[in-house]
C-alpha cells in the first residue's frame, strides 16, 4: 500500500513549521500587547452547535464524525433508520453527533454562551487553531487551515473597532506585507436593501454588488434583473455603485451615501460609525461593495487584501450584535477579526519576506568517530546544552564523509571532532562549516565560540 | 438550546493555555537542544492509513469522518450498500474515507514512507499535536488530548536511546516533577515467550505480567492458566517475575535473566542493549514486567511515571525496527518517546508546580473617563505597545468603580488615568494596583515604571 495524504491537507516540514510559527508569533504578540488572552476549544463540537450557522452551503461543508460503536448488533436497526434520514439530507444523532469545527467564531459563541456569568466582561480572547472545511481544494484553499482570531464580546464601543484595525495595521507592518484594509457597515447595506424594497433583499443585493470589481456594472445589473428587482431598485443600486466607481475619498463617499439614504435611520447610524473610524485611520478604504458572507454581522465589516498580488482576502471580520443569541443567550454584542495564516504564508513565500535564519534546530554536529569517545561526546553534548546551544552527536560511527554530508544537508554552522588527540590533550576540535577554519580549543572556549548561535 | 461540550473534550481558558504552553515550551526547547526539528501532520488521515495499526480495540476507538455529499441522490444506492457493510463492522470507503489521528507515530511513519528519499537520514523530528480517541472519558483520560513526540528514524544506534532518556530526565527536572523512569526490552519479552512455547504467546504473557504490581503473583498465575499456558511455561514465568519481586538492582536482575535465558539468542541481544544503557544511567529502573501495548516495538521500551502520586504513565516510548514496513517501505529502524501533556498538567496542578506569574496578558488598564480623552489614550496605548508593554483601554466610559472591578478581576498591575488635569499638564496618572500608590508622571517616565512587566 502506497500511503497518501487526504486531499486538501498538508504535512508541514520543519522549515515550514518555523515559518508558520514566525507568522503566529507576530500575530500572537500583537494580540497580547492589545490585552487579548488565549482560548482554545476542541477540534470537534456537538453537531447541533455548528449546523445551521453557516447557511445551507456551509452545512454541507462541515466534516461530520461517524458515531463509534455503530457496528454493535443491538444498534443496527436504529442506525439503519438514521442512515436513511442522512440520505435524505437530514443529519441525525443516530449516525453522527459530532463535527469538526468550521471556524473559530461559532465555537467561541458557544463558549461564551456556556460561561457568560464567569467571564470578566468585556471579554477579550484570541484563538489560533485549525479549522476544517470540505471545500474543493484549490490554490490558497485547503481542507485544514489555521485561523487566528481576536474577538471582544460584551461591549458595543467603537473603540474596539479602532483597536482591531490597529492590530491589522501593526501585524502586516511587522510581516512587511503591504495591504489594503477595506471597511463597510452592514447598516449601510441594510439601508440599501430597505430603499430597494425591503430587508429580505439584502442577500440578493450584496451577493450581486460584491462582484462589481470582478464582473463590472453591466453584469451586476443583469444579475439583479434576474433576481426580479424592480427598475427603481436597480437604479438606486446603480447610483450607490457609481459613488464607488467615481472616487475613493472616504468622506466624500460618506456624504454621497448620506444624501442617498437621508431618510433612513439605520443608514444614519452606519454612516456615523464609519465617519468615527475614518477620523482615526487615513489608510483604510471605504468600500461600499464589501458585504462579507456571514449573516451574523450587524455593523462594521472589515476585509484585508494584499497589494500587488493576486490572492483573496488574508483577513476579515466584523461586528455582530447578538452572536450568542444563536444559543439563547441574548445581548452579548461583539466584534472580531481573523487572519488567514495559510494565505499569509503563501504571500510571504511569493514575496520572499521570511527572514533568512528562522530555524532553531541544532547548528552543531559532533562527529562520531567511535564508541570509545562516547563518554567525552556525551559530556560535551550536555555541557553545550546547559549553555542553550542546540547540538547533536551523529548516532552511528560511520564514515566521516557521510557524517559531513549529513551536517551539510542539515545546514549546521559547526562540527565538533573528538578523537584520540583531543582525548589525550583534553581539547576538542571545532570546525566552522562555512569558512572551513578548524581549531583545537578547551571545553570552556567552545561556549564563547558558540554563544552567538545559542537558543534564547 | 443550551449548548454543551462533547463528552471528553475541554475548553482551555487563558490561564490553562498559559500553563499548557509553559509545559510545551520546556519540552520543545529540550527537543530543539537535542537537534530535533518540528513536523506537523494533518488532523485526519486516510482511513486505511490508521486502520489495523492499533489492534482491534484501537480500530474501534478511531474517530471516523462521514464522507460529505452522501445526501446527493445519485449516491444513495451505493451509500446504502456501504452502510450495510459498516453495520457488519467493516469500514468501507463509500461512507467513510478519513479518520482523526489516534497517535502521532503512525502518521509520522506514513510521512516517512512518503518522503523517505527526500529526508536527511537519520531524521529527527518532534511533533506536538492533539490526537483523538473514542475512549470512555475518565480522570486523566480525554477524547482529545495532546501528545509531544520525538523520534529518530534511520539509525539503530543505542546512542539514540541515551539521548531520548536524557530528554526525559531533563524535561522532568525542569518541570520539577519527580519521576521513575522504567525500561525493558521487547527482546527479553520475546525470549520469555519463546521459552514458554513460542512467540505467539507474547501478547497473552505480556498482558498478564503487566498487571503484576496491581493484582499480585497469584492472580497473574490464574490468568495464565486461563490462557492455557503449560505448567512448565507458568513456572518459567513465575521464576522470571520472582527476580522482579526480590530486588531492584539493575545489574543483578540482568544477570539473573541472563542465566534464565542463557541459550536464547534474542535474550542475549536484549540484555546487552539494556546493560549498555544502565551503564549511562543510575536512576533508571529495569522493570521486567513492562511491556507497552503497541506491537510495533522491537527493542528498548520506556515508561515514565510520576512518584508519590496516583496517576498512570506520563511518558512512554520505545524502539521499532520496521515501522514504515506497515506502508511497504522496509528497513527504517527508529526509536521514539512521547509525553502525555494532559496528565503532566494534572500532576503539576496537584503538586502546585506552575510558577505564579505565568501569563502574558495586559497588566496595564487605561481608565476610560470620556471620549474627549480618546486621542490621548490612543497615543499612550501605542506608545506603551511600541515599548512591548501590553495594555488596553476600557472600551466604554462607564463608572470608574466598574472599570476598577474589571481591572481587579483581570489581575492588572497598574491602571493609568487620563482626565482633564492630566491633559492640561501633559502628564498621566499611574496607580500601582497592589500598593494603591498613585503618581503623576510624563509619558517617558511611564516606560521606566512599566519596563519590568514588558513582554520579552
Q: Say what the ipTM of the complex is.
A: 0.93
Residues of B in contact with A96 (CB under 8 A): 66
Smallest CA–CA distance, residue B337 to chain A, in Å, is: 17
Say if the Cβ atoms of A130 and B3 lie within 8 Å.
Answer: no
Say if the Cβ atoms of A2 and B327 lie within 8 Å.
Answer: yes
Q: Which of B142, B104, B116 is nearest to B337 (CA)?
A: B104
Q: What is the pLDDT of residues A154-213, one digit of tens each?
A: 999 999 999 999 999 999 999 999 999 999 999 999 999 999 999 999 988 988 998 888
CATH number at residue A322: 3.30.930.10
Say if the Cβ atoms of A96 and B66 lie within 8 Å.
Answer: yes
Q: What is the DSSP string of A78-138?
A: HHHHHHHHHHTT---TTTEEEEE-S-SHHHHHHHHHHHGGGS-SSEEEEEEEEEE--PPPB
Q: What is the DSSP string of B227-260?
A: TT--HHHHHHHHHHHHHHHH---HHHHHHHHHHH
Query: Do B244 and B389 sit in the same domain of this protein?
Result: no
Angle formed at CA A135 by CA A86 and CA A91, multiple of 5 degrees: 15
The β-bridge relationship of strands A144-153 and A334-340 is antiparallel
Q: What is the pLDDT of residues A265-291, one digit of tens each?
A: 999 999 999 999 999 999 999 999 998
The band of A301, judged by pLDDT with boundaries at 50, 70 and 90, is: very high
* A415, A365 Cβ separation under 8 angstroms: yes
Query: Do A158 and A276 sit in the same domain of this protein?
Result: yes
Q: Which chain A residue shows the shortest CA-CA distance from B405?
A: A120
Chain-centre distance of CA B426, in angstroms?
A: 52
The mean pLDDT of B389-394, rounded to a whole number, is: 96
Residues of B in contact with A170 (CB under 8 A): 385
Cα dihedral sign, A415-A419-A423-A425: negative
Question: Which of B38, B157, B374 shows the shortest C-beta gap to A396?
Answer: B157
Residues of B in contact with A38 (CB under 8 A): 12, 14, 17-18, 21
Say if the Cβ atoms of B327 and A3 lie within 8 Å.
Answer: yes
Query: Do A403 and A286 sit in the same domain of this protein?
Result: no
Does some domain include residue A359?
A: no
The mean pLDDT of B426-441, rounded to a whole number, is: 94
The β-bridge relationship of strands B364-367 and B414-417 is parallel
**Of all residues in chain A, what percent carry a pLDDT higher than 70?**
99
Q: Which is more confidently placed, A119 or A94?
A: A119
**pLDDT at residue A47 is higher than 90:** yes
Q: Structural domain of residue A436, as residue ranges?
A: 364-454
Say if the Cβ atoms of A389 and B124 lie within 8 Å.
Answer: no
Q: What is the pLDDT of residues B42-84, one digit of tens each?
A: 999 999 999 988 888 889 999 999 998 888 888 888 888 888 8
Say if the Cβ atoms of B393 and A163 lie within 8 Å.
Answer: yes
The mean pLDDT of A57-74, rounded to a whole number, is: 90
Say if the Cβ atoms of B65 and A69 lie within 8 Å.
Answer: no
Q: What is the pLDDT of residues A106-151, one digit of tens each?
A: 999 999 999 999 999 999 999 999 999 999 988 778 999 999 999 9
The mean pLDDT of B101-120, rounded to a whole number, is: 95
The rounded distance, in Å, linking the Cα atoms of B285 and B183 is: 6
Query: Do A430 and A325 sit in the same domain of this protein?
Result: no
Question: Which of B37, B43, B166 shows the shortest C-beta gap to A144?
Answer: B43
Say if the Cβ atoms of B114 and A3 lie within 8 Å.
Answer: yes
Residues with Cβ within 8 Å of residue B181, at least 6 apart in sequence: B165, B168, B169, B281, B283, B284, B285, B302, B303, B304
Say if the Cβ atoms of A86 and B71 lie within 8 Å.
Answer: yes
Residues with Cβ within 8 Å of residue B287, at least 6 apart in sequence: B182, B183, B184, B244, B303
* Strand spans (E) along B231-348: 284-286, 300-306, 315-320, 334-340
The band of B350, judged by pLDDT with boundaries at 50, 70 and 90, is: very high
Does some domain include residue A86?
A: no
Q: Which is more confidently placed, B25 or B70?
A: B25
Query: Do B337 and B304 sit in the same domain of this protein?
Result: yes
The rounded distance, in Å, linking the Cα atoms of B91 and A70 is: 11
Query: Do A346 and A397 sit in the same domain of this protein?
Result: no
Say if the Cβ atoms of B44 and A6 lie within 8 Å.
Answer: yes
The mean pLDDT of A91-119, rounded to a whole number, is: 93
Say if the Cβ atoms of B39 and A362 lie within 8 Å.
Answer: no
**Residue A396, burial from CB neighbour count under 10 angstroms (0-12, 13-18, 19+):** middle
Smallest CA–CA distance, residue A37 to chain B, in Å, is: 6
Chain-centre distance of CA B283, in angstroms?
A: 23
Does some domain include residue A20?
A: yes
The β-bridge relationship of strands B300-306 and B96-100 is unpaired
Smallest CA–CA distance, residue A259 to chain B, in Å, is: 27
pLDDT value of residue B174: 97
* B123, B152 Cβ separation under 8 angstroms: yes
Does some domain include residue A89?
A: no
Task: Assign A18 to helix, strand or coil.
Answer: helix
Smallest CA–CA distance, residue A258 to chain B, in Å, is: 24
* Strand spans (E) along A209-268: none
Smallest CA–CA distance, residue A345 to chain B, in Å, is: 15
Q: Which is more confidently placed, B387 or B90?
A: B387
**pLDDT at residue B360 is higher than 80:** no
Say if the Cβ atoms of B374 and A159 lie within 8 Å.
Answer: yes
Residues of A in contact with B86 (CB under 8 A): 66, 70-71
* Strand spans (E) along A307-363: 315-320, 334-340
Query: Do B369 and B305 sit in the same domain of this protein?
Result: no
Query: Do B329 and B373 sit in the same domain of this protein?
Result: no
Residues of B in contact with A414 (CB under 8 A): none
Question: Which of A17, A38, A134 shows the shortest C-beta gap to B17?
Answer: A38
**pLDDT at residue A360 is higher than 70:** no
Does some domain include residue A316?
A: yes
Smallest CA–CA distance, residue A266 to chain B, in Å, is: 22
The rounded distance, in Å, linking the Cα atoms of B27 and B315 is: 12
Q: In this predicted structure, which of A19-23, A67-71, A110-114, A144-148 has the lowest mean pLDDT?
A: A67-71
Residues of A in contact with B279 (CB under 8 A): none
Residues of A in contact with B76 (CB under 8 A): 87
* pTM, rounded to two decimals: 0.94
Residues of A in contact with B122 (CB under 8 A): 395-396, 406
Task: Assign B303 to helix, strand or coil.
Answer: strand
Beta bridge partner(s), residue B414: B364, B432
Q: Which of A88, A64, A68, A89 is nearest to A79 (CA)?
A: A68
* B36, B150 Cβ separation under 8 angstroms: yes
Q: Which chain B residue shows the shortest CA-CA distance from A121?
A: B406
The mean pLDDT of B125-133, rounded to a whole number, is: 97
Cα dihedral sign, A438-A440-A441-A442: positive
- H/E stretch holding A237: helix A231-246
- The domain boundary residue, chosen from A323, A350, A377: A350
The rounded distance, in Å, linking the Cα atoms of B180 and B285 is: 7
Question: Which of B38, B46, B100 shows the shortest C-beta gap to A4?
Answer: B46
Residues of A in contact with B42 (CB under 8 A): 5-6, 9-11, 144
**pLDDT at residue B99 is higher than 80:** yes
Q: How many CB atoms are closer than 10 A to CB A9?
A: 19
Say if the Cβ atoms of A132 and B13 lie within 8 Å.
Answer: no
Q: How many CB atoms are closer than 10 A to CB B42?
A: 22
pLDDT value of residue A456: 63
Residues of A in contact with B79 (CB under 8 A): 83, 87
The mean pLDDT of B338-348, rounded to a whole number, is: 95
> What is the average pLDDT value for chain A, to the nearest integer?
93
Query: Do B176 and B246 sit in the same domain of this protein?
Result: yes
Does some domain include residue A154?
A: yes
Say if the Cβ atoms of B120 and A157 lie within 8 Å.
Answer: no
pLDDT value of residue B137: 87
Say if the Cβ atoms of A68 and B63 lie within 8 Å.
Answer: yes
Query: Do A207 and A241 sit in the same domain of this protein?
Result: yes
Say if the Cβ atoms of A361 and B36 lie within 8 Å.
Answer: yes
Mutate to test the interface with B, among A2, A4, A6 (most CBs of B within 10 A): A6
Query: Do B19 and B160 sit in the same domain of this protein?
Result: yes
Torsion of CA A394, A395, A398, A399, to 10 degrees: 0
Count of domains in chain A?
A: 2
Does some domain include residue A2?
A: no
Residues of A in contact with B275 (CB under 8 A): none
Mutate to test the interface with B, among A43, A272, A453 (most CBs of B within 10 A): A43
Residues of B in contact with A132 (CB under 8 A): 43-44
Q: In this predicted structure, which of A231-235, A358-362, B232-236, B302-306 has the lowest mean pLDDT?
A: A358-362
Q: In this predicted structure, which of A49-63, A81-95, A413-427 has the lowest mean pLDDT?
A: A81-95
Q: Which of B54, B292, B322 is nearest to B182 (CA)?
A: B292
The band of B310, judged by pLDDT with boundaries at 50, 70 and 90, is: confident
pLDDT value of residue B292: 82
For the ranges A296-310, A316-330, B168-182, the maximum mean pLDDT occurs at B168-182
Q: How many CB atoms are closer than 10 A to CB B77?
A: 10
CATH number at residue A385: 3.40.50.800
The mean pLDDT of B434-445, rounded to a whole number, is: 94
Does some domain include residue A96?
A: no
Query: Do A345 and A371 sit in the same domain of this protein?
Result: no
Q: Which chain B residue shows the shortest CA-CA distance from A87?
A: B71
Beta bridge partner(s), residue B184: B301
pLDDT value of residue A294: 62
**pLDDT at residue B294 is higher than 80:** no
pLDDT value of residue A31: 97
Amino acid at each position: 500500500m502506497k500511503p497518501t495524504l487526504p486531499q486538501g491537507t498538508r504535512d508541514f516540514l520543519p522549515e515550514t513549521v518555523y515559518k508558520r510559527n514566525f507568522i503566529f508569533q507576530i500575530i500572537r504578540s500583537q494580540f497580547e500587547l492589545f490585552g487579548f488572552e488565549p482560548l482554545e476549544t476542541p477540534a470537534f463540537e456537538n453537531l447541533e452547535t455548528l449546523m445551521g450557522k453557516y447557511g445551507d452551503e456551509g452545512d454541507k461543508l462541515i466534516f461530520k464524525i461517524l458515531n463509534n460503536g455503530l457496528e454493535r448488533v443491538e444498534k443496527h436497526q436504529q442506525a439503519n433508520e438514521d442512515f436513511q434520514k442522512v440520505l435524505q439530507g437530514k443529519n441525525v444523532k443516530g449516525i453522527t453527533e459530532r463535527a469538526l469545527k468550521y471556524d473559530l467564531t461559532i465555537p467561541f459563541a458557544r463558549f461564551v454562551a456556556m460561561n457568560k456569568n464567569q467571564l470578566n466582561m468585556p471579554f477579550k480572547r484570541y484563538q489560533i487553531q485549525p479549522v476544517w472545511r470540505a471545500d474543493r481544494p484549490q490554490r490558497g484553499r485547503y481542507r485544514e487551515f489555521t485561523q487566528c482570531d481576536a474577538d471582544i464580546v460584551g461591549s458595543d464601543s467603537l473603540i474596539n473597532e479602532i483597536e482591531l484595525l490597529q492590530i491589522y495595521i501593526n501585524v502586516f507592518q511587522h510581516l512587511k506585507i503591504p495591504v489594503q484594509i477595506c471597511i463597510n457597515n452592514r447598516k449601510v447595506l441594510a439601508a440599501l436593501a430597505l430603499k430597494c424594497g425591503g430587508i429580505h433583499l439584502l442577500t440578493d443585493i450584496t451577493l450581486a454588488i460584491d462582484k462589481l470589481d470582478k464582473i463590472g456594472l453591466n453584469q451586476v445589473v443583469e444579475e439583479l434583473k434576474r433576481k426580479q428587482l424592480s427598475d427603481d431598485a436597480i437604479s438606486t443600486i446603480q447610483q450607490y455603485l457609481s459613488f464607488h466607481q467615481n472616487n475613493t475619498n472616504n468622506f466624500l463617499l460618506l456624504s454621497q451615501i448620506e444624501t442617498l439614504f437621508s431618510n433612513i435611520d439605520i443608514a444614519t447610524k452606519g454612516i456615523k460609525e464609519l465617519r468615527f473610524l475614518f477620523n482615526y485611520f487615513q489608510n483604510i478604504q471605504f468600500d461600499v461593495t464589501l458585504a462579507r458572507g456571514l449573516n451574523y454581522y450587524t455593523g462594521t465589516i472589515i476585509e484585508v487584501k494584499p497589494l500587488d498580488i493576486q490572492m483573496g482576502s488574508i483577513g476579515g471580520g466584523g461586528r455582530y450584535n447578538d452572536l450568542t443569541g444563536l444559543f439563547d443567550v441574548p445581548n452579548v454584542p461583539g466584534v472580531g477579526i481573523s487572519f488567514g495564516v495559510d494565505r499569509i504564508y503563501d504571500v510571504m513565500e511569493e514575496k520572499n519576506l521570511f527572514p533568512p535564519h528562522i530555524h532553531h534546530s541544532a547548528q552543531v554536529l559532533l562527529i562520531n568517530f567511535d564508541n570509545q569517545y562516547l563518554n567525552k561526546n556525551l559530556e560535551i553534548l550536555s555541557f553545550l546544552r546547559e549553555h542553550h546551544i542546540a547540538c547533536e552527536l551523529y548516532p552511528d560511527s560511520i564514515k566521516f564523509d557521510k557524517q559531513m554530508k549529513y551536517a551539510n544537508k542539515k545546514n549546521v554552522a559547526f562540527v565538533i571532532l573528538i578523537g584520540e588527540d583531543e582525548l589525550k590533550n583534553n581539547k576538542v576540535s571545532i570546525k566552522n562549516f562555512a569558512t572551513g577554519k578548524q581549531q583545537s580549543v578547551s571545553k570552556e572556549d567552545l561556549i564563547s565560540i558558540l554563544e552567538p548561535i545559542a537558543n534564547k
